[in-house]
Amino acid sequence: MVEIELKKGKEKAVLQRHPWIFSGAVEKIKGKPENGDLVKVLNGKKEFLGYGYFNAQSRVAVRLLSWDEGEVIDKTWYAQKIAQAIQLRTDLISLEDTNTCRLIFSEADFLPGLIVDQYADFLSVQILSAGIEKAKPMIIEILVDLLHPKGIFDRSDATARTHEGITAENGLLWGDAPETFIEVRENGIKYHINIAEGQKSGFYCDQRDNRRVLASFASGKTVLDCFSYSGGFTLNAFNNGATAVTSVDSSALAIETLKQNLELNGFNHKPHVSIQSDVNKQLRNFKDEGRKFDIVILDPPKYAPSRSALDRAARAYKDLNRLGMLLLERGGLLATFSCSGAVDIETFKQIIAWAALDAGKEVQVVHQFTQPIDHPIRLSFPEGEYLKGLLVRLV
């Protein structure tokens, strides 16, 4: 196995069990590892630090899998890690309510670059590192053994793969191909999901708990669901007695799926309007028309893909939230989210405070949203904390 020696003093993060070694920390590479090869990492005194996957192309030169010299990274190791991740979900999530969840969440489950989502009898796999890509056939065998799915679909079409020098993949990996739309349930609501073409790996199961919390305030209220995708917040709001919901999303497939989902749940006669439009533009139109809602939801895509994009993203979040607040009366609720890992909760609060100032409103935070238990935050990997939100009330 190729050995990689770190520069003096650069082992601190590794000793704290952080799984990333940046290329700038590497002193010497003894040999010529290929991207995705397993390597042994040593400190400046040539003492063992860990095993991980090497990548010469990525800013993260090594993704660590193990800090134990006696461990062998083989099929048994993978099977044990995968079984442990699945067990956590089985222990903590009521499958009566939900048959869709994230079974494996990359670094948080000690499998850097591997994401596996369950959609009823199907699995959707996303591989974001060259090392895991090499282990893919073995991982598929283990998933089949442990879960007996009907089919496993590859949604490794994220741009993150380009940083690792691996090409995008989208297609059936094992078993039967899912129908164009398969049905899942969550919070007692049914959804159609397009595993092959839907966004992310098909569905945003990370908002499961937040949809339930938001819905508990929706009875008798008018709701504006911005960035509605397949209707997670819209459907939960109707399920809890919202009087009218308007959903806005720029994607035609999102709007089509949302309409199917309204019908699937018998909500097709509810007072609902769906608008395929850019949210910022639509919010400005509503403001000009003097429209008001009791609850406004803002769940935009990731505005800050990295820390360097933080300033621009902060301005975009601020402007979006300012517009959202202008559509609320006193007592109205704004549920606002950020899924940018680079924006932490304190920064997000500051952005919302600026938005309120600009809108000329006073707001109180009445609830903080976070990511659910199938997206755990490993404390030695704080970067895994990405989803945050605030429920604010205009006073």
Point out the residues that are catalytic: 339
Long-range contacts of 76-85 (CB under 8 A, 24+ apart): 78/111, 78/135, 78/138, 78/139, 78/142, 79/142, 79/145, 79/146, 81/109, 81/110, 81/111, 82/111, 82/139, 82/142, 82/143, 82/146, 83/146, 84/109, 85/109, 85/111
Q: What x/- string results for residues 161 through 200 when contact with ligand SAH is judged by CB under 6 A?
A: --------------------------------------x-
Residue 55 touching ligand SAH (CB under 6 A): no
Total of residues contacting ligand SAH (CB under 6 A)? 18
Instruction: Give the start-end residues of each E strand in the chain.
Output: 2-6, 20-22, 26-30, 38-42, 48-54, 60-66, 100-105, 114-119, 122-127, 151-154, 171-175, 182-186, 189-193, 222-226, 244-249, 272-276, 293-298, 328-338, 363-369, 388-394
Give the torsion sign (CA, 306, 310, 312, 316).
positive
Q: Which stretch binds ligand SAH (CB under 6 A): 12-20, 109-117, 189-197, 226-234?
A: 226-234
CA distance 191 to 260: 8
> 249, 294, 374, 385: which one contacts ligand SAH (CB under 6 A)?
249
Q: Does 279 bind ligand SAH (CB under 6 A)?
A: yes
CB of 92 to ligand SAH, least distance (A): 21
239 touches ligand SAH by CB under 6 A: no
Residues between 324 and 383 with contacts to ligand SAH, criterion CB under 6 A: none
Q: How far is the CB of 254 from ligand SAH (least distance, A)?
A: 4
Q: Of 110 and 204, which has the nearer Cβ to ligand SAH? A: 204
Binding residue for ligand SAH, selected from 217, 233, 293, 348, defined by CB under 6 A: 233
- Nearest of 106, 87, 164, 166 to residue 383 by alpha carbon: 106
**Binding flag, residue 228, ligand SAH (CB under 6 A):** yes
Within the chain, how many helices (H) and strands (E) appear? 11, 20
Nearest distance from C-beta of residue 265 to ligand SAH, angstroms = 15
Radius of gyration of the chain (CA): 22
d(CA 213, CA 209): 6
Q: Which stretch binds ligand SAH (CB under 6 A): 121-129, 133-141, 225-233, 262-270?
A: 225-233
Site for ligand SAH in 198-217 (CB under 6 A): 199, 204, 207
Strand partners, 284: none
Q: Between residues 109 and 299, which has the closer beta carbon with respect to ligand SAH? A: 299
Indicate the residue among 279 and 313 with the shorter CB distance to ligand SAH. 279
| Span of 23-31, 50-58, 89-97, 245-253 interacting with ligand SAH by CB under 6 A | 245-253
Q: Which of 302, 303, 246, 305 is nearest to 277 (CA)?
A: 246
CB 238 → ligand SAH: shortest distance, Å? Answer: 14
Q: Which of 299, 376, 387, 391 binds ligand SAH (CB under 6 A)?
A: 299
Residues that bind ligand SAH (CB under 6 A): 199, 204, 207, 227-230, 232-233, 248-251, 254, 278-279, 299, 301
